[in-house]
Structure 1
Amino acid sequence: MRLRLPTTAPVDLVRECLPRLSLVDVVVLADAVLRLPGVEPESARASWSSSGAGPGRARDLVRLVDAGAESAMESRLRVLLVLAGLPQPVAQFEVVACGHRRRLDLAYPDLKIAIEYDGDHHYVTEAQKHADIEREMSLRTEGWEVIRVVSHGIYRDPAGTVKAVAAALERRGRSVRLSDGWRPHFRQLA
């Protein structure tokens, strides 16, 4: 005998979790759902907008979700920056640097600012370390400013991450007005 377990469609799962998860966690989930085959981003956003989680919460989710995010930590980093009042960065921006096609985790392309989230795998092998150094050098050669963020910059020192990105924006001529909107969602531990 086969047991049949009830399942929930991915888009509906986000609607169900919207009132239960933190805003950041539900954005991470929604970003992942938008990457699934067969999920139409605009229809998913419309579904989430009409959820019963309250108009402000649903509006925040729809404003923050991005189908371009490729990892939970990239999503968390992007949400931190936006809640801090910084402009929405472009996820997975493609650029050619020194003849090589590169994809940047997050970018402000008009200002040539790249924000890269480095997970643990970036520090495991010498080959990966070398590739990252080479990649960063090629971007800098083309005039990009590269900001590297690790988990510490999200979980322990989000204020430091916000300040680093804001400073880069200001160095490139973009005036920034920071908000404390990130503070209820990210704890400062450092």
Structure 2
Amino acid sequence: MSERSMHPDERIARVASRQHGLITHRQLRGMGLSDGAIRARRRSGYLRPVHVAVYAVGHDSLTLEGRRLAAVMACGPEALLSHAHAAALWGMLAPWEEPSMAAIDVTVPAACGRGRRPGIVVHRTRIPSAERAVRVGIPVTAAARTVLDLATGASDRLLERVIDQALTDEHLTVPALHACAAEHRGSRGAGGLRRMLAALERYDSLTDSELEEQFLARVRGAGLPDPRMNARVAGMRLDAIWPSERVAVELDGYRWHRTRSRSESDRRRELRLRAAGWRVMRYSARQVFEEPFEVIADLSSVLAAAAVRGGG
């Protein structure tokens, strides 16, 4: 059956099925429906408003992706999901880092109007065509641009994790990050991103022994008990362990070269260790060298809690 010969509601459902159950007023008008026909479907409950001129078709139980796409649709055809919500869509954030759905980040071209939209944080800026992407049917900022936007306000620790995850998942490359920072030279995000890239590249050439020596020096300088270095647990070599407390530390000095298979191997190692009753802490070279107080505070807290539980 051709689309032209289909009942209007069938055509609406077909389009919505490709858009997480959503359709816009503009699309409905493009199908030939009059404003009166649209109002009638609203009254019947077939079209349920989500945002101004955006409707859920035949339901109001949108998925997470549907709610994000609805926010993008509400901001016009050139809008993109962006910032923390784009990072979540790309899989760059851990589950506990997912942003609130009460306010969804959307970026539109600078020339777009200034109207406000409930439940949407609208960012207005220049969007080069190379920084546009589509993921699971949702227009979104490209991975490198997403990292740049996050760099305007994210902590160094979060920004490092986001970059690491995006590289591991092969959503971007280091040259792409440098190119994005250069494209937006002068912006707050570009400065933060360049600083992080410089820090990570500075430690990329460290040998394992150099990183381990620096970590041990930080531990001793804080007066913590010496760990056993390069010890084996359940057939796995670990960088540092406190056996009595059953606390292990893994040091990452290879972030730029970390592959998906290496990342999955690390996760399997951690699962095995946790199943055996070990608490696994992971620190990057940048953290050891540039955030020693945070690393030691974190580690001290874990060791103290382990001792209270009867580990030592």
Name the TM-score, length of structure 1 as normaliser: 0.51
Among 135, 140, 153, the alignment partner of 2:274 is 140
SS in 1 for 2:241: strand
User: Does structure 1 residue 94 correspond to structure 2 residue 232?
Assistant: yes
Which structure shows the higher strand fraction?
2
Task: Write the deviation string for residues 130-182 of structure 1: whole angstroms up to 9, x where unpaired.
Answer: 000000111011010011010222221100000111011111116xxxxxxxx
Post-superposition offset of 1:121:
4.5
Q: Distance in 1 between matches of 2:304 and 2:257?
A: 30
Q: Determine which structure has greater relative contact order: mean sequence separation of CA pairs < 8 Å that are 6+ residues apart, divided by chain length.
A: 1
Gaps of 5+ in 1: 1-68, 175-190
Runs of 4+ in 1 over 4 A off after TM superposition: none
Which residue identity lines up with residue 79 of structure 1 in the other structure? Answer: A
Cα distance in 1 for residues equivalent to 2:216 and 2:270: 20
Task: Give the distance between the partners of 2:257 and 2:216, measured in 1 at CA.
Answer: 22
Aligned equivalents of 1:122, 1:131: Cα separation in 2:
16
Structure 2 stretches lacking a partner, 5+ long: 1-206
Per-residue deviation at 1:70? 5.3
Task: Say if 1:92 and 1:104, in contact at 8 Å, map to a contact too.
Answer: yes
Bigger-Rg structure (1/2): 2
Conserved 8 A contact 1:94-1:103: yes
Structure 1 contact 122–132 (Cα < 8 Å) conserved? no
**What is the CA distance between 1:75 and its match in structure 2?**
1.0
Q: Residue type of the partner of 2:218? A: L
In the alignment, does 2:249 pair up with 1:115? yes
Aligned in 2, Cα 1:170/1:76: closer, same or farther, shift over 3 Å?
Answer: same
Residue number in structure 1 paired with 2:134:
none
- Distance change >3 Å, CA 165–CA 128, structure 1 → 2: same
Deviations 1:64-107 (Å, cap 9, x if unpaired)?
A: xxxxx9511011001101111100110011111xxxx1111001
Does the Cα contact within 8 Å between 1:123 and 1:129 map onto a contact in 2? no
How many equivalent pairs are there?
102
Residues in 2 aligned to 1:159 and 1:134: alpha-carbon distance in whole angstroms? 29
Which whole-Å CA distance do the structure 2 matches of 1:79 and 1:70 have between them? Answer: 14
Q: What is the CA RMSD across the aligned residues, in angstroms? A: 1.8
Percent of aligned pairs with the same amino acid? 27
Q: Which amino acid aligns with 1:89?
A: P
Q: 1:171 to 1:121 in 2, by over 3 A?
A: same
Residue type matched to 2:222 in 1?
A
What is the SS of the residue equivalent to 2:244? helix
Distance 2:265 2:240 in 1: 18
1:156 aligned to 2:290? yes
What is aligned with 1:80? Answer: 218
> Structure 1 residues 156 and 71, CA, compared in 2 at 3 Å: closer, same or farther?
same
Matched to 1:115, the amino acid is V
* Separation of aligned partners in 2, 1:166 and 1:153: 15
